[in-house]
Structures are given as structure tokens and as C-alpha cells.
């Protein structure tokens, strides 16, 4: 018996005891007490926002101060308020800190306001719910479990509901699940016959008093288990009777339902997975580097503090003129100076680093949003960066995990070609059978039933159909019009088909356009228009498709009285059942090979004449199997086999599962960028494999490994590892052994069931768990623990081996996988390969995968938007992924790396001047600059040029970035920012600070100005060093800039001019009069900078700082140029963009062929529904008849 945790929800009064005794199931009741109480379950409101008006300020500040650098500067601000240890004014820290906190808070507020608006829009949608006996309009957020609701055509479903009735025959309801899985073909749901019978009118719905026991909320989209108790009867419930939140009602005027799961309990929300806070690899590295700087800061401050204690003991105590009135010991003075140096050297930890990074990321996100080459005009959908924190990670992707349906494909099936009687049709030919290059569409205007949407170019086929010279051609399209499970309805006089799969819809539509239109069907008949003549055929049996049979058949009686079987299916199963005298067997096989080489989905058509006596005998067996109480499906399949033999082959169809534009080109370019693409799909294996060939993930030279091959390889590897295990293995270094010989192009195709078996993820049966005894002794407990640990180790080793094996393959396709398995595969690669991953999809079944990957991309523009809501980036077409990664991602990575390297350099160059100065001031923590210069250095004097480089710089153009995908690998290998680069920047900053200090120091020693006065005072020295520093760091950014614009040049020279302007203003007498304590460098700038000697010192200092950098850059680009250097050097010659050419498939007759079995649907079709008559409008039966004879599934009519 299945076990479900208890979730009690407003149980019916007279059944409360029973509900409590069960202690298993969720109880949902529709009984309304007089004083209505809120359900104990969650409300239907969706909440994605983080703050409200009261919590924003405290919560946001708390989150910001959780960041180590912000908290550090808060502590620093407190220390600066202590006069005994502070040599620096408090505002030097307060101003930058407030700027950082303010900008981040504004950004967070804007993001959260957008989330509030989105939540409000969804929660305030309206729906009709029974209140006080009548349907009333209420908001979605007020819907509760147990409410009876009414939905109309094109309404979104607000919660997971049990379908009670609808306006369609037998309470059918058609839903579109694009929001869940990206598929736009309609699926049908059907209510219980008892609720269909009695719950059609408002009064009956208002008095409905049933209750439901069902499973607890879970994420299984295709599973549901429950029981409806009503009128002293129990009725089983399954997924076919449940309408899920996020789906849309289609082709159904009105339907009624009972809310079972609401809000966060709905399956679509359960599938959304846990929201993870995503951070980039550079973020983590940057934090470690900041921690490294913290350690350096503490060590330097401690060393200088010890130096001060020693100096005080040796010099200070004996210098009467240095006495400050305090009799502190040298060690205590050293302790105070430790905190003083923590304050003075605080700019080693750059407070403006984080806010500058956020500004750059924000700008880069807007560049993605504004990119017209990623704008899809057809649906007015621009690219959208839904997060601003992951841009540079786009330049470091190793693995892409992609959904298939709606992501790689358009989910549009098109009839392209066919082979009839050994002849191939579908090429560009005129009515005289002459091929020509002129493209001219076939005119179907002669056919009144044609929908005008089929693009076909072979005029010769139309001529053959109309002339009737080859009866097999008419027979071929007649078969397509009659052998299917498609439903038909008429909207405004127009025929509209509802198919279980888009493939089947494409074939029936093709037959309609070629003159054989399916018009209507009843339980026992089907009506077809054959070139304008309507004929009705009696349906004797429908032999439905399933994934094992890979075919479907229909047995009909013609108006003339003859009986025929028509069959369509995969060539592998059809060829086994053909009559041995079929003349066109080889020609059709050759055509199938050609279609397969063009990556078309193929299907064989055949028929058979049946004698009256033969059918009568077979029908007895068929009726017996139809009502078998056990193993019914197996019994039916066995009976089907008896009649589906000695078939006559008519030909084959070829359908194109249309890829989105540019998919093969995008995959080819991403592969050249050393990015591996894995396709994770819920579709069947053959279909996924065919798409693999269509988008050039797989080629004719690819060796494909399947689940059974992988299982045996992993089993052998596990045995070898176990044999090599032991004490010696623990000390031996791990040696990686490849699974395959090098040089071979291999791909892996694996199903979800094999994935579970290989990764040891199969669930243990509940019965086995219940039989386990609890350990009684310590020894038993220890053995149980060791056993569990060994099992976990075995599972972990097996999973690691699987990831190693899969990563050796050039492509991996996982089919028939659940949303949970998609996320698991992504997590395995993240865990064992430590690689940066990207997941891309378009449906709710991709949400978990999108959230698990480092970066999630949603395909927007489709009707399903759930994936987009959970994604980090979204756009309308898969082809835009190459531009997102190879252009925006690579540029963002390069810009961020340059920015960080320069930022650390300029801060070390600025701060360590204090360090060198301390050797000449008794380690007294005196600053080498004016206080206002320290305050404004990172805010005004050196911020704009580096921000613009982080926003605008590019080593090569976007066209060259796309043309040379190999440039992308620098990000994958972390070549531009790592600990080595960090220490190089640190060393550069140290050397620059030495030059900035010692050259002016040497110049100031024993000098006299031209006016006879000595300019070698402390304030003049501070101005000289500060001026040289500002010019040096701004010119250095000029050397680092690859892409010059007017804005860059203006920012560099503007920053220098701004520095001098502010300095002369702050050193003026006027401002000193107003604020004498804050501005103490009165007249220093004008006095010092009028000396030519000072200007020569500044020029010499800047030259010594920059000339070695220029020399090293020149030698590096000349002797060891990078790939981007080479491309930049020859960019004019490379400007013409290379056109991508599709790989040519070489067809070899007789070679082993590959074909996709025809994907009828993911499950059985509508045959049950059709043959039972439930889709046909009829008189309702009395309730007694429903209860007494409600189990019949098949009804067949045999005409004598």
C-alpha cells in the first residue's frame, strides 16, 4: 500500500474520525461550514519579493553588512571616531561607505519593486468561485483548497484542480501545456462519469459534498493518485482528471473543477526547485583575494606597530621636543599605532570595489538588453538580462545543457517528402517530372479543404494524384487520412484537428491538402473526403500505438463491404511484418536511407485485405482480450500481432521536425569554443537521436554508445577499481584512465531509466524497508553504519565514473528524463568536474535544471513563460546563445578581469606610499596625503576611467569574436584573472608606490626653490606625490585600454583636470576661512606647483612608472603575441565575415542507416477515447447504469 504523509484540510464532519485513523492522506473537502475558516494549507498567493515597506531598510542593511568588506569599513568608521588611535578624519570612510550602501540599496529596491509588480499582477488575476451558492469573481490569491471554480476558454488555470465537468461531450477538456513543457499541441483531460452526470449546473456544484484523499504535494507532473468519496461510493483519480496550474483551457467553452493544491503546493511550483543565490567564479576569487589583503593589512600594520614601539623606546622617549604630555609606555603606543595603521592603510581593501563591480555589471546587462542582433522582431521579443550579477561568468562556460522541444526545435512538424511505390516525391519538379532550380510552390486552390499552410514544391505528385494513373498514390494519402487517432471539430466552418502529437497532426493535414480530408468520426465510423467525394467507413477496430509496438493500425469496412487493415509505424517493425513478395521493399529502403541522411523523421505505410471469416475469428480473440481482468495490455498486443502480418508496403513519409533558425551554426561555433553541449529531453530516444543529427551534434562518423554499453563499461571500471583497492591504493596518487581510445569521435545517448540504474538512483521498495529490524546492539549499529557508508561511497564512485565517461564524449543526449533527472545531471557535472555550467530551456520541466546550473537561460516568445521567470537571461531563439556567450560573455569576462587587475594595482600604488613614508616618520601612522585627497581618490580622481574600461573595452570586434570562437578559451581556463595575476598586480602596485615616494623624496632632499625658499615641507611633498599618482594611474588605464573612444579619452584627461581643479579649490584661502579645521593645506598647491622643479619631479616620476610597462607590453606583443593580439593586428584583413556552411552529408547506398521511429505521442493516443464513444455527444445515462457498468473500456461493432 502506498504511504502518504498526513496533511489534513477541513475534513468532512462525519468522516473526521476516519481521516485521523488513516494517518496517511491529504484530505480535501468541499463542505462549507457556516463560519468559514481558513484552510491549514498554504494560500494560492505567490510571493517572490524579499522586502516590504517596513523590512526594506533593516533587512537590506543587514544583508549588505554580511559582506565582509562592508562590515570591515563599518568597524573602521567606529575606530576613526576614537581620537587616541585615529590620524584620519572620520569622513574619509563615511562618504565612500554611504555611497556604496546607497547605490546597492537603490539597485535592490528597483529589483524588488519589479518583483512586487509581477506578484501583484499574477495574484490579482480573477477567477469565478462558488460563494454562498453562486459563482462570484474573486482574485487568485483568495482561492482556497476545496473551492469549486469555473474556467472559460483561453483562461489560465489558477491552481491544481480536479476536473468535475465541462461543456464538451462527456466532460472532455482540452488544455495547452506550453507553460509546463513548451509543447503547443493540445492534451485532453476527462472528468469522472459520475461528476460529469451530476455536476453540470450551478446549484448542483454549490451543494457538492464529496471529499478527496490524495497524495501529498509533489513535483511529478504526469502522476497523481487519489480517491473521490461521494454518495457512499469511492472513485479512483489519476493524472488524466487533473488540470495543472499554468496550463491554458483551449477549445472548451466552460469547465468546472475542485481545487486540490494551491499556491506553493501546486506541481508547477514544486517543480521550480529551490531558488539558489548564484555567484560567479570571479566573485569567489575576489573574496579570497580581499581576505588575502586583510591578512597582508594586519601583518603590515603589526610590523609597523612593532617598529613604532621600538622607535619610541630608542628615540621618542629621549626626544624632549616630541613629548605629547602622555606618559604611555612604548608597547601601549605601539598597540594604539596598530589600530592607527589599520585605519591609514584601510584603502588596501578597496571599499569602492564592490559598488564599481555592480555598476559595471549593470551596464553590461543593459548592453545585452539593448542588443538589436538579439532582438526577435517576429514576436517583438528582446533579449533580457534578468540578473546583473553573472555577466562575466558567461565568458567561462564549459558545458551547456539544453532542452530539445521548443529550445532546439520549433515543435512544428512539416510534411517534406514521401516515397510511394518506390518513387520519391518532394523535390523541386514541374508537372512534367523535370527538375529545375526555380522554386515555385504547389497551388492547392483546386482543393476546397486545403488550409494553404503546406509548402510543397513537387508539382508532379499533384499531377499523379489528379490523373489517377498510379492508384497506390491515392491509396497512400487515403491511409494517412483514415489511420490515426486525431479528433476533429469545426470552428466558424473551418476544420480544426486536435492530435495526440504534432507528427500525427502534420500527416493528417498533409493528406487534407493533397485531397484526402478527414471530416468527421463517430464511435464506429469515420468520414473522409476523397478528392471531393465524401465516403463513410465503418471502424471495426483501432489498434493503438504504444512505445513498444511503434505502430498503429485501423481495421475498416468500406462502403462496398470489403475489410481492410491500414497500418503505419517505424520501418524496423513494419519490415518484419511485410509479405515476402513485396516488390518495392528495396527501393523504399533506399528512400528511407536518403530521408535519414537528411535528418527527416520517417514512417512506413502499409495495408492488408482481410477475409470476412479471418476477421470474425480474430475479433472473438480481440473482444476477449479487451475485457481481460489482468494483463490486458499484454493480451491485446498478442492479439494485434496475429492480424498485423503479411502486409503490403505502400511507401514512406518523411517529416521535418523543424529546428529553430541557426541551431546547427550555433552548435558548431560553440563546439569550436570548446563548449560541450548535452541535450536533456523528455522525448523518446529515436526522436532525440534524429534531432542530434539534424543540429550536427552527431555526424555519420560519430560512434554512438547507448545505456547498455555504458553500464558494462562502468561495471568493468568499478571491478578494476575494487581489485586495485587496499592500503596501497590510499597512498598511490590517483591516475586517470580514459574509457575510450583517443582520437575517436564518440557520443552518448542514454534514457532516464538507464540513468537511474547506472547512477544507482533506483528507489528501494517500501516493503523491503519495513522488513528491516532496528539495530539492538552497538555492534549492529556500527555494522549498519559501515554498510550505509560503503553504499554511499560506491554510489559516489559510480557517479564520478559516469561523469568522467560522459565528458570524454563529444556529445551527450539524455532522453526520457524527468525534470528531477535533468537537474541531477547538471549537478553531477558541477560537483565532479568543477566546471561552469549553463542550462537552457523553455518549459516548467526545465526550471529545476535552469536553477541548478551556474547560469540559467529561458527561451521567451513561446507561450510558456515559466522557464523565463526562473532564468538569469532570456531571449527568443537558441541561435542568440552564441552571441550571448562569444560576444557579451567574453567581453564581460575580459572587461571584469582588466578592471579588477587595475583596481588592485591603483589601490596598492596609492596605499603603500604610507608604508614607505612610515620609515621616515617614526612609524607614527601619519598619512602621506591630505585627508580630502584620501577621501576623493577612489570616488572622483580614478574611478571614471576604470569604470568606462569595464563597460566599453573590447579586444576585438563582435564579428571577429564570432568568427574566431577559439578566443573564448581564455575565460574557460581562467587565464586573465587568477592568483598569479593578482600577485603581479600587487607587485606592480608595490613598485609604483616605491617610485612615487622615493623619487620625490630624493628630489626634495636639500633643495632650494628658484625663489630661494625651500619647498621641501610635508604639505608640498604630499601634493607632489598625489599629483604624480593621479597622472600615473590615469595614464596606466590608457595603456590598458584596447578600444579607444572619445568618452575614454575625455574621462582620463578629465579626471586629471578634475583633480587639479578640486585641489586648487580646497587649498584656497576662502574655503579655509569657512572651515578652518577641515581644510588645512592653505596655499600649498599654488606655492608648490609654481616651481618648475616640482613639475620636473612629477614628470620624471610618471615616466619611471610607465616606461617599463610600455617596454614590457611592446616586447610581449612582438615576441609572445596572444590570439587576440594577432587578430587585432590583422583585423582589417579579417573584416569580411566568413559564412558558415552546413556540413555535407555523404549518402552511401547500403551503409548502415539510422532513422527516427515515428513519435506518435509520449503515451497512447486517443484510441481508447474514440472506440469507447466517450468523445461523441450522446444522451446521458442514468446513475445506476454508470455505477453498474462503468468499467467497460472497449466497444466494437461487427457488421455482417
Joined grid coordinates for residue 720:
578494476
Decide: residue 55, CB within 10 A, 0-12 exposed, 13-18 middle, 19+ buried. Answer: exposed
- For helices 68-80 and 352-369, the axis angle rounded to 10 degrees is 140
Joined grid coordinates for residue 1079:
581644510
> What is the rounded CA–CA span in Å between residue 16 and residue 203?
26
Number of continuous H segments (helices) and E segments (strands) in the chain: 43, 34
Q: Which of 160, 403, 842, 974 is catalytic?
A: 403
Helix/strand/coil for 213 = strand
Joined grid coordinates for residue 344:
591609514
Helix/strand/coil for 250 = strand
Helix/strand/coil for 228 = strand
> What is the rounded CA–CA span in Å between residue 600 and residue 426?
12
How are beta strands 746-751 and 703-705 bridged, if at all? parallel
Q: Where are the alpha helices (DSSP H) in 600-699?
A: 612-626, 632-643, 663-672, 685-694
**Residues in Cβ contact with 778 at an 8 Å cutoff, skipping those fewer than 6 apart:** none
Please confirm, yes or no, whether 403 is among the known catalytic residues.
yes
> What is the rounded CA–CA span in Å between residue 346 and residue 340?
10
> What is the rounded CA–CA span in Å between residue 1021 and residue 1028?
11
E strands in 68-111: none
**Residues in Cβ contact with 265 at an 8 Å cutoff, skipping those fewer than 6 apart:** 41, 42, 160, 217
Neighbours of 279 (CB within 10 A): 14
CA angle (127, 129, 132) in 5-degree steps:
145
Handedness of CA 435, 440, 446, 451 (dihedral sign): positive
Instruction: Specify the long-range contacts of residues 870-873, CB closer than 8 Å, at least 24 apart.
Output: 870/272, 870/273, 871/386, 872/278, 872/385, 872/386, 872/387, 872/390, 873/368, 873/383, 873/384, 873/385, 873/386, 873/387, 873/394
- DSSP letters along 1102-1121, please? HHHHHHHHHHHHHHHHHHS-
Joined grid coordinates for residue 788:
550505509
Joined grid coordinates for residue 286:
575576489
Q: Are 867 and 843 in contact (CB under 8 A)?
A: yes
Neighbours of 1065 (CB within 10 A): 12
Joined grid coordinates for residue 641:
500481432
CA distances from 61 to 71, 73, 359 (A): 10, 13, 19
> What is the rounded CA–CA span in Å between residue 230 and residue 232?
5
**What element of type H or E holds 559?**
none
Decide: residue 520, CB within 10 A, 0-12 exposed, 13-18 middle, 19+ buried. Answer: middle
CA distances from 281 to 384, 891, 893, 972 (A): 22, 16, 11, 11
Kindly list the catalytic residues: 403
Amino acid at each position: 500500500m502506498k504511504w502518504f504523509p498526513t496533511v489534513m484540510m477541513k475534513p468532512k464532519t462525519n468522516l473526521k474520525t476516519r481521516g485521523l485513523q488513516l494517518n496517511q492522506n491529504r484530505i480535501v473537502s468541499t463542505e462549507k461550514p457556516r463560519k468559514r475558516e481558513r484552510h491549514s494549507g498554504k494560500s494560492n498567493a505567490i510571493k517572490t519579493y524579499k522586502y516590504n515597506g517596513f523590512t526594506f531598510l533593516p533587512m537590506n542593511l543587514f544583508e549588505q553588512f554580511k559582506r565582509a568588506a562592508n562590515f570591515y569599513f563599518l568597524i573602521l568608521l567606529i575606530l576613526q571616531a576614537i581620537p587616541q588611535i585615529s590620524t584620519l578624519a572620520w569622513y574619509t570612510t563615511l562618504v565612500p561607505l554611504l555611497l556604496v550602501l546607497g547605490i546597492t540599496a537603490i539597485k535592490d529596491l528597483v529589483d524588488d519593486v519589479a518583483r512586487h509588480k509581477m506578484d501583484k499582477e499574477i495574484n490579482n488575476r480573477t477567477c469565478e468561485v462558488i460563494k454562498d451558492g453562486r459563482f462570484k469573481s474573486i482574485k487568485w490569491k483568495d482561492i482556497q483548497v476545496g473551492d469549486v471554480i469555473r474556467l472559460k476558454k483561453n483562461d489560465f488555470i489558477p491552481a491544481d484542480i480536479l476536473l468535475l465537468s465541462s461543456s464538451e461531450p462527456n466532460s472532455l477538456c482540452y488544455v495547452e501545456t506550453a507553460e509546463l513543457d513548451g509543447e503547443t499541441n493540445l492534451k485532453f483531460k476527462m472528468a469522472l462519469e459520475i461528476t460529469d452526470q451530476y455536476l453540470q449546473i450551478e446549484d448542483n456544484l454549490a451543494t457538492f459534498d464529496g471529499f478527496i484523499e490524495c497524495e501529498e504535494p509533489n513535483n511529478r507532473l504526469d502522476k497523481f493518485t487519489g480517491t473521490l468519496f461521494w454518495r457512499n461510493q469511492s472513485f479512483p483519480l489519476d493524472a488524466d482528471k487533473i488540470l495543472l496550474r499554468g496550463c491554458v483551457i483551449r477549445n472548451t467553452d466552460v469547465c468546472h473543477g475542485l481545487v486540490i493544491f494551491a499556491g506553493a503546493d501546486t506541481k508547477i511550483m514544486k517543480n521550480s526547485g529551490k531558488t539558489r543565490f548564484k555567484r560567479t567564479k570571479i566573485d569567489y576569487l575576489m573574496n579570497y583575494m580581499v581576505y588575502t589583503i586583510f591578512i597582508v593589512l594586519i601583518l603590515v600594520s603589526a610590523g609597523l606597530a612593532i617598529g613604532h614601539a621600538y622607535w619610541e623606546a630608542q628615540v621618542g622617549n629621549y626626544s624632549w621636543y616630541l613629548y605629547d604630555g602622555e606618559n604611555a609606555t612604548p608597547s601601549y603606543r605601539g598597540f594604539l599605532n596598530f589600530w592607527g595603521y589599520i585605519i591609514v592603510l584601510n584603502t588596501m581593501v578597496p571599499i569602492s570595489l564592490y559598488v564599481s563591480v555592480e555598476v559595471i555589471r549593470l551596464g553590461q546587462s543593459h548592453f545585452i538588453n539593448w542588443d538589436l542582433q538579439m532582438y526577435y522582431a517576429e514576436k517583438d521579443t528582446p533579449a533580457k538580462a534578468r540578473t546583473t550579477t553573472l555577466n562575466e561568468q558567461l565568458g567561462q562556460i564549459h558545458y551547456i545543457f539544453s532542452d530539445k522541444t521548443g529550445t532546439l526545435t520549433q515543435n512544428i512538424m512539416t510534411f517534406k517528402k514521401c516515397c510511394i511505390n518506390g518513387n520519391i516525391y518532394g523535390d523541386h519538379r514541374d508537372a512534367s517530372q523535370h527538375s529545375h532550380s526555380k522554386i515555385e510552390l504547389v497551388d492547392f486552390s483546386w482543393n476546397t479543404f486545403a488550409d494553404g499552410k503546406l509548402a510543397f514544391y513537387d508539382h508532379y505528385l499533384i499531377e499523379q494524384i489528379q490523373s489517377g494513373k498510379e492508384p497506390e498514390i491515392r491509396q497512400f494519402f487515403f491511409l494517412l487520412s483514415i489511420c490515426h487517432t486525431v479528433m476533429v471539430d469545426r470552428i466558424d466552418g473551418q476544420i480544426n484537428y486536435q492530435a495526440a502529437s504534432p507528427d500525427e497532426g502534420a500527416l493528417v493535414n498533409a493528406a487534407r491538402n493533397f485531397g484526402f480530408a478527414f471530416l468527421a468520426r463517430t464511435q464506429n465510423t469515420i468520414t473522409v473526403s476523397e478528392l471531393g467525394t465524401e465516403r463513410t467507413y465503418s471502424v471495426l477496430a483501432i489498434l493503438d500505438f504504444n512505445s513498444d509496438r511503434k505502430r498503429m493500425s485501423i481495421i475498416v469496412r468500406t462502403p462496398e463491404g470489403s475489410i481492410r487493415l491500414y497500418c503505419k509505424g517505424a520501418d524496423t517493425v513494419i519490415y518484419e511484418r511485410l509479405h515476402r513478395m513485396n516488390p518495392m521493399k528495396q527501393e523504399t529502403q533506399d528512400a528511407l536511407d536518403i530521408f535519414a541522411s537528411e535528418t527527416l523523421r520517417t514512417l512506413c505505410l502499409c495495408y492488408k485485405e482481410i477475409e470476412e471469416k479471418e476477421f470474425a475469428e480474430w475479433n472473438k480473440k480481440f473482444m476477449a482480450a479487451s475485457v481481460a481482468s489482468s494483463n490486458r495490455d499484454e493480451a491485446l498486443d498478442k492479439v494485434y500481432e496475429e492480424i498485423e502480418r503479411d502486409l503490403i508496403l505502400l511507401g514512406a513519409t518523411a517529416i521535418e521536425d523543424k529546428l529553430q533558425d541557426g541551431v546547427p551554426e550555433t552548435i558548431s561555433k560553440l563546439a569550436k569554443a570548446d563548449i560541450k553541449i548535452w541535450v536533456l529531453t523528455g522525448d523518446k530516444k529515436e526522436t532525440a537521436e534524429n534531432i542530434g543529427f539534424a543540429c550536427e551534434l552527431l555526424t555519420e562518423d560519430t560512434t554512438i554508445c547507448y545505456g547498455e554499453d555504458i553500464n558494462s563499461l562502468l561495471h568493468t571500471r568499478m571491478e578494476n577499481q575494487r581489485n586495485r583497492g587496499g592500503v596501497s591504493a590510499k597512498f598511490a596518487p590517483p591516475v586517470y584512465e580514459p574509457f575510450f581510445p583517443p582520437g575517436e569521435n564518440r557520443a552518448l545517448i542514454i534514457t532516464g531509466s538507464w540513468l537511474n540504474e547506472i547512477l544507482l538512483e533506483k528507489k528501494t521498495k517500501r516493503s523491503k524497508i519495513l522488513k528491516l529490524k532496528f539495530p539492538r546492539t552497538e555492534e549492529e549499529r556500527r555494522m549498519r553504519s559501515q554498510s550505509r557508508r560503503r553504499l554511499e561511497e560506491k554510489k559516489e564512485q559510480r557517479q564520478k565514473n559516469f561523469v568522467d565517461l560522459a565528458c570524454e564524449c563529444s556529445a551527450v543526449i539524455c532522453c526520457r528524463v524527468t525534470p528531477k533527472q535533468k537537474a541531477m545531471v547538471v549537478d553531477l557535472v558541477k560537483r565532479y568536474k568543477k566546471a561552469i555550467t549553463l542550462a537552457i530551456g523553455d518549459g516548467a520541466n526545465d526550471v529545476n535544471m535552469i536553477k541548478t546550473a551556474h547560469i540559467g537561460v529561458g527561451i521567451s516568445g513561446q507561450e510558456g513563460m515559466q522557464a523565463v521567470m526562473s532564468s538569469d537571461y532570456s531571449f527568443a531563439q537558441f541561435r542568440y546563445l552564441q552571441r550571448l556567450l562569444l560576444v557579451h560573455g567574453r567581453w564581460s569576462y575580459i572587461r571584469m578581469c582588466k578592471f579588477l587587475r587595475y583596481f588592485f594595482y591603483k589601490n596598492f600604488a596609492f596605499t603603500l606610499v604610507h608604508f614607505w613614508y612610515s620609515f621616515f616618520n617614526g612609524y607614527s601612522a601619519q598619512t602621506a596625503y591630505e585627508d580630502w585627497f584620501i577621501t576623493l581618490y577612489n570616488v572622483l580622481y580614478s574611478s571614471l576611467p576604470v569604470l568606462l574600461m569595464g563597460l566599453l573595452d573590447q579586444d576585438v570586434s563582435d564579428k571577429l569574436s564570432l568568427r574566431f570562437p577559439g578566443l573564448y578559451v581564455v575565460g574557460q581556463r581562467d587565464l586573465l584573472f587568477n592568483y598569479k595575476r593578482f600577485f603581479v598586480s600587487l607587485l606592480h602596485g608595490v613598485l609604483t608606490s616605491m617610485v612615487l615616494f622615493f623619487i620625490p623624496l630624493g628630489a626634495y632632499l636639500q633643495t632650494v626653490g628658484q625663489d630661494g625658499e625651500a619647498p621641501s615641507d610635508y604639505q608640498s611633498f604630499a601634493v607632489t606625490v598625489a599629483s604624480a599618482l593621479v597622472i600615473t594611474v590615469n595614464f596606466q588605464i590608457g595603456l590598458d585600454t584596447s578600444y579607444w573612444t572619445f568618452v575614454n579619452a575625455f574621462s582620463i584627461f578629465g579626471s586629471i583636470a578634475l583633480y587639479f581643479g578640486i585641489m586648487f579649490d580646497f587649498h584656497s584661502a576662502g574655503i579655509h576661512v569657512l572651515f578652518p579645521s577641515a581644510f588645512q593645506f592653505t596655499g600649498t598647491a599654488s606655492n608648490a606647483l609654481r616651481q618648475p622643479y616640482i613639475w620636473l619631479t612629477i614628470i620624471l616620476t610618471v615616466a619611471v612608472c610607465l616606461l617599463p610597462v610600455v617596454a614590457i607590453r611592446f616586447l610581449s606583443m612582438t615576441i609572445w603575441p596572444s590570439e587576440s593580439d594577432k587578430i587585432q593586428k590583422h583585423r582589417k584583413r579579417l573584416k569580411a565575415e566568413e559564412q558558415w556552411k552546413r556540413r555535407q552529408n555523404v549518402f552511401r547506398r547500403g551503409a548502415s542507416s539510422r532513422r527516427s521511429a515515428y513519435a506518435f505521442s509520449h503515451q497512447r493516443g486517443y484510441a481508447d477515447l474514440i472506440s469507447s464513444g466517450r468523445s461523441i455527444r450522446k444522451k446521458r445515462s442514468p446513475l445506476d447504469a454508470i455505477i453498474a457498468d462503468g468499467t467497460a473500456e472497449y466497444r466494437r461493432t461487427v457488421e455482417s
